[in-house]
Structure 1
Amino acid sequence: MINWQDIIRQGAEIKASDVFFKSGTAPYQRVKGVIEPVPDAQELSPEDTSQLAQSLMDEQDWAKFQEYHEKDIGLTVEGVARLRINIFQEQNDIGLAMRLIPLEVPTIDSLDLPQVLKEIAMRPQGLVLVTGPTGCGKSTTLATMLQHINSNRRAHVVTIEDPIEYLY
């Protein structure tokens, strides 16, 4: 079986945002918006991607995947990154897309986000909705706001997300 964790480690070192596994091709990654092959990686067979997918799921999740042909999971590669993984069926083969999420939650200032987010985060109550297309920074924006709350006041905050991306 492929050593996917080494591929994730290599991707994290060069700040890849995503790593993709698809049979018939070597794994590839998105770095600064450009999709490129993972250096020195071997072409994957349908068995490789199937084994990888099965290794990431328990029996119950695998059964659901068999029924619905798609599954989203979150997990952590210790010391490297948190992953949001989409496992999907594509033309009778299994593919995986892994989004790398930094273990350290960035700050509002480090991302040059509008300062009004700090003001919103400090309000004692309310509902915040952040919307937009995939990959535009919704989860990271909310994570920075939650980190600001956790650093500056005591509060009971409820998030609804599946899978969970950032851990606090």
Structure 2
Amino acid sequence: MYTLDIISKILESVNGSNVTDIHLTAGTVPAVRIDGKLSYTTRFSMIRPDDIWNIIDQMLNDEHKKVLKEQNYLCVTVVLDNIGRVRANIFKQRGSYALNIKILDQRLKTPEELGIPQVVIDLHKKESGLILICGNKSSGKSTTVTSIIKKICTSRACQIITIEDPIQYLHKHDKAIVNQIEIGLDVNSFEEALNCAMTQDADVIMTSFAGSPEIFSALLSAAENGHLVIATLQTVDTISTIEYILSMFPAERREHVRVVLGNVLQAIISQKLLPAKDGSSYKLAAEVMLANQAMKNLIIENKIHQIPALIKASKALGMITMEDSVKELYRIGAIDESWLNM
């Protein structure tokens, strides 16, 4: 029967390659994702339902097991011996549990190593307003947010409250106090956590989920009231982000939401991770929209279609379109030519 140490054995079997995920499902052998591609580890035997539960039973504490049995789903970050922090996604399929393990970076890379533009890191200097970090799944959003939070933490005295499901990176107190709230462990919902954050003298509020009208309304209110709010959305560029936000609300509220958004917005950063030309890693491509007064006016006046042209015309201010970001990665030899026409 498989035990929890199967995770480290799987990693050893692929010689520590760039494994990002391990998939354990009854009825098949373990699978790993290396450099974005899924492959099977044929040296291991087929997994049985009892194997999955045995691994889960050794991985989770009693509180997490209780939540799992109530919901049949759990996403939680745990520390595994000889591996470090991993994010475990556990869910039911065909009557038995399946387990996906995401290997988290044990050392947070510097912004320079990550390829995060300096103008994005400089957003840590903002003391109020709304910063949105956007992109599809596995686009590096959490890493960018973590870099900004770390920079705030080391640069000024304030209280930071992060709201995450689950907590991915642990922040150390420095000049700032960092309180990290995990959904399902510390509170029951994002709404509850946001209400707490807004009454607990937080200077900076970060949330890993903003995709409901109730939550986004609370974030706008927090930004209006002088908090710096950092949130992530699964959208691909500035226009789709604004359109998605407005679509969450009924038609009669959209004008008000758009005006408030235009007033409080500081930046929208839209990201993609592209395979490096040498196949060793991924390179960050990012559209950077900084909400100066001209940009705010376009949003408030509902001239959203003009935003891409203004981004392109504002290169001297640090803004860049996704197209130009990809072209620059190709120019310096970081990515293959095929990504120019993506």
- Structure 2 length as normaliser, TM-score? 0.45
Relative to structure 1, the CA distance from residue 47 to residue 137 in structure 2 (aligned partners, 3 Å threshold; closer, same or farther) is same
Relative to structure 1, the CA distance from residue 57 to residue 78 in structure 2 (aligned partners, 3 Å threshold; closer, same or farther) is closer
Secondary structure of the residue aligned to 1:98 is strand
Distance 2:149 2:70 in 1: 36
User: Is the CA contact (8 Å cut-off) linking 2:23 and 2:99 kept in structure 1?
Assistant: yes
Matched, 1:6 2:8: yes
* 2:40 aligned residue: 37
User: Is the CA contact (8 Å cut-off) linking 1:12 and 1:81 kept in structure 2?
Assistant: no
Secondary structure of the residue aligned to 1:109 is helix
Distance 2:54 2:92 in 1: 13
Equivalent in 24, 30, 35 of residue 21 of structure 1: 24
- Structure 1 length as normaliser, TM-score? 0.87
Q: What is the 5 A alignment of 1:82-93?
A: 82-93=85-96
* 1:122 aligned residue: 125
Distance 1:12 1:132 in 2: 31
* 2:49 aligned residue: 46
Distance 2:24 2:164 in 1: 24
Q: Which stretch has the larger CA shift, 133-142 or 25-34? A: 133-142
Aligned AA (2:95): N
Aligned AA (1:64): V
Q: CA RMSD in A?
A: 2.2
Deviation per CA, 1:17-46: give whole Å up to 9, x if none. 111111111111111110012352221111
Distance 1:119 1:4 in 2: 42
Question: Could you tell me how far 1:99 is from its partner in structure 2?
Answer: 0.8
Question: Relative CO higher for 1 or 2, CA cutoff 8 Å, sep ≥ 6?
Answer: 1
Secondary structure of the residue aligned to 2:50 is helix
Secondary structure of the residue aligned to 2:77 is strand
Deviation per CA, 1:107-134: give whole Å up to 9, x if none. 2111111221121012234443323332
User: Is the CA contact (8 Å cut-off) linking 1:24 and 1:43 kept in structure 2?
Assistant: yes
Give ranges in structure 1 of 5+ residues lacking alignment: none
* 1:73 aligned residue: 76
Aligned AA (2:101): M
Structure showing greater radius of gyration is: 2
Question: Could you tell me how far 1:70 is from its partner in structure 2?
Answer: 0.5
| Matched-pair identity in % | 24
User: Is the CA contact (8 Å cut-off) linking 2:29 and 2:42 kept in structure 1?
Assistant: no
Question: Could you tell me how far 1:101 is from its partner in structure 2?
Answer: 0.7
Which protein has the bigger helix share? 2
Distance 1:62 1:141 in 2: 31
Question: Could you tell me how far 1:14 is from its partner in structure 2?
Answer: 0.9
Relative to structure 1, the CA distance from residue 79 to residue 167 in structure 2 (aligned partners, 3 Å threshold; closer, same or farther) is farther
Equivalent in 103, 120, 124 of residue 100 of structure 1: 103
Alignment coverage as a number of residue pairs: 168
Give ranges in structure 2 of 5+ residues lacking alignment: 172-342
